[in-house]
Amino acid sequence: MNSGLYENLVRNGLLVEHKEIEAREFSGLSSDDQRHKIIQPEYLSFISYPYEWCFSELKDAALTTLQIQKTALEYGMSLKDASAYNIQFKNGKPLLIDTLSFEKYEGGKPWVAYKQFCQHFFSPLALMKYRDLRMNQLLKSFIDGIPLDLASKLLPKRTHFKFSLLTHIHLHSKSQEKYSDKAVEIKSKISKFQMLALIDNLESFIRNLGLDKTKTEWGDYYNDTNYSEEALLDKEKIISNFIDKTVPKKVWDMGANTGIFSRIAAKKGIHTISFDIDPMAVEKNYLAMKRADEKNILPLILDATNPSPAIGWENEERDSLMERGPVDLVMALALIHHLAISNNTPLIKIANFFAKISHNLIIEFVPKADSNTQRLLKTREDIFPNYDEKHFEEDFSNFFDIIEKQQIEGSTRTLYLMKKK
């Protein structure tokens, strides 16, 4: 605080703002309490995790971490933690939420958070770029980042010929392996200039990382949709009307693809999380958000049939999706047939799931006659005799009151507005 670093970072939107709280404002503190200060950070409406981020979200979080470290050095400070979990998104931009992750910079001392940065950011970004876009899902299993030896084994051989990858992953991994069971006394000194050179190298490589054209199952959904222009406009109108009737402060759009309908809520000033299972669809959504400088939308990767679990120490370090809800309104558009038919989930179970995460629900029923449902049934036997509008309404009525239903013009699909009982 005295160095001026806090003021600089907050002013530039790189660190969450906080205020100091008097101990007497809290109950349960003993008279001999040894706390130095109590700080209350600004409230963020949603906490997301690196395994829910697309490639460019992780990339921007990495660049933000490096920018903060460079700024800290200017003020005689240094980041002692470079965990991806210390970064969150506010108004569409990444910022640091761990105010206590700074220490005074000591000349000659190496960057203590370098290994952690490589595991949390550099390794997953390299794997997503050079191996597979879904590799950040490894972060669910490795809570302190992808181990460098594993990243080195998974990366293609050609990456040994790229200086930054050779240095920060392959040789870094060999060095760790060599000295893992030895007590090492660090004698060499690293100047501030050398540390800045290291950070610049990391920054330059990450900034220039881009994705090749990657074909995924639903990444081009809206280029291959069965909606006519008339149907699409009518769907947007109905959804906008339903949103106005529920007056939500927070919206989750499940199966949002590139976020066309998420933006209906976001443009009304409603904080909207735009979930989809397809990493390229989420990537396109995020890049569109950045180009338009949108503040009320956050695209995230999520499989509704296997939502993010509670992980970490005692399963309490990272909240499950369910623990981060319920929210005022959930939208489930063009999703029900995937859950019921592709994943064999009974309608009653789907209704129960949505009742756990929402107070209000906008859901689109996609009948068997729909061409997209027929596409799902082409490769399997139709064992879904109860997949129809009648059973859909009956099962959802166990958990919700059906407030309104409207068929989309020029379509076989129906939109429902429901309120949890």
Nearest to 135 by CA among 115, 117, 155, 113: 155
Residues 6 or more apart from 79 whose CB is under 8 A from it? 65, 68, 69, 72, 101, 102, 111, 113
User: 36: burial class by Cβ within 10 Å (0-12, 13-18, 19+)?
Assistant: exposed
In the three-class reduction of DSSP (H, G, I as helix; E, B as strand; rest coil), residue 60 is classed as helix
188-217: average pLDDT: 88
Average pLDDT over residues 128-145: 96
Q: How far is CA 349 from CA 336, 337, 343, 362, in A?
A: 11, 13, 12, 17
Tell me phi and psi for residue 78, to 5 degrees: -150, 145
pLDDT value at residue 352: 98
pLDDT classification of 196: cutoffs 50, 70, 90: very high
Helix (H, G, I), strand (E, B) or coil at 254: strand
Please give the share of the chain, as a percent, with pLDDT higher than 90. 84
Instruction: Answer with the residue of higher pLDDT: 274 or 223.
Output: 274
Q: Is the pLDDT of residue 104 over 70?
A: yes
pLDDT tens digits, one per residue of 297-341: 999 999 999 999 999 999 999 999 999 999 999 999 999 999 999
Mean pLDDT of 180-200: 80
Nearest to 273 by CA among 357, 339, 343, 340: 357
Distances (CA, A) of 106 to 37, 112, 189, 328: 24, 11, 11, 49
The pLDDT of 384-392, averaged and rounded, is 95
Confidence bin at 379 (pLDDT 50/70/90):
confident
CA–CA gap between residue 96 and residue 85 (Å, rounded): 9
Cβ distance 264 to 243 under 8 Å?
A: yes
Residue 385 has pLDDT above 80, yes or no: yes
The two three-digit tokens of residue 354, written as one number? 């949505």
Find out whether 280 and 136 touch, Cβ atoms under 8 Å: no
**Cα 272 from Cα 244, distance rounded (Å):** 14
Asked if pLDDT for residue 34 goes beyond 90, the answer is no
The H or E element containing residue 57 is helix 55-74
Determine the residue type at 87. Answer: I
Element containing residue 64 per DSSP (H, E): helix 55-74
**Beta strand ranges found along 261-315 (DSSP E):** 271-276, 297-301
Question: Would you say residue 360 has pLDDT above 80?
Answer: yes
- Indicate the Cα dihedral angle 370, 373, 377, 381, nearest 10°: -90
Residue 114: pLDDT over 70: yes
Residue 239's H or E segment, with its range, is helix 229-246
What pLDDT is attached to residue 212? 82
* pLDDT mean over 143-171: 96
Task: Identify the CA nearest to 337 among candidates 261, 413, 262.
Answer: 413
d(CA 192, CA 110): 9
Q: What is the DSSP string of 96-151?
A: E--TT-EEE--TB---TTHHHHIIIIIHHHHHHHHT-GGGGGGGGT-TT---HHHH
Strand-strand pairing, 327-332 and 297-301: unpaired
Domains of the chain in start order, with CATH, are 5-207 (1.10.510), 221-420 (3.40.50.150)
Using the structure block, give the residue that is written with the tokens 């129960």.
352
Per-residue model confidence as pLDDT tens digits over 218-264: 555 555 566 788 999 999 999 999 999 999 999 999 999 999 999 99
**Measured CA angle at 287 (ends 15, 85), to 5 deg:** 35
What value does the mean pLDDT take over residues 92-109? 96
Rounded percentage of the chain residues whose pLDDT exceeds 70: 91
Q: Distance between terminal CA atoms of the chain?
A: 49
- The two three-digit tokens of residue 327, written as one number: 């929210």
Cα angle: 92, vertex 97, 99; to 5 degrees? 145
Rounded-to-integer distance, Cα 93 and Cα 57, Å: 9
Residue 268 CB contacts under 8 Å (≥ 6 apart), including other chains: 240, 243, 244
pTM comes to 0.93
Residue 77 pLDDT exceeds 70: yes
**What does the angle CA 408 – CA 296 – CA 323 come to, to the nearest 5 degrees?**
90
278 confidence band (pLDDT: 50, 70, 90): very high
Give residue 215's pLDDT.
56
Give CA–CA dist 83/274, Å, rounded.
Answer: 24
Query: What integer is the mean pLDDT of 59-77?
Result: 98
Task: Please report which confidence band the pLDDT of residue 15 belongs to, taking 50, 70 and 90 as the band edges.
Answer: very high
What count of Cα atoms within 13 Å lies in the side-chain half-sphere of residue 26? Answer: 14
Mean pLDDT of 146-165: 96
* Measured distance CA(329)–CA(357) in Å, rounded: 9
Instruction: Tell me if residue 155 falls in helix, strand or coil.
Output: coil
Grouping H, G, I as helix, E, B as strand and the rest as coil, residue 403 is strand
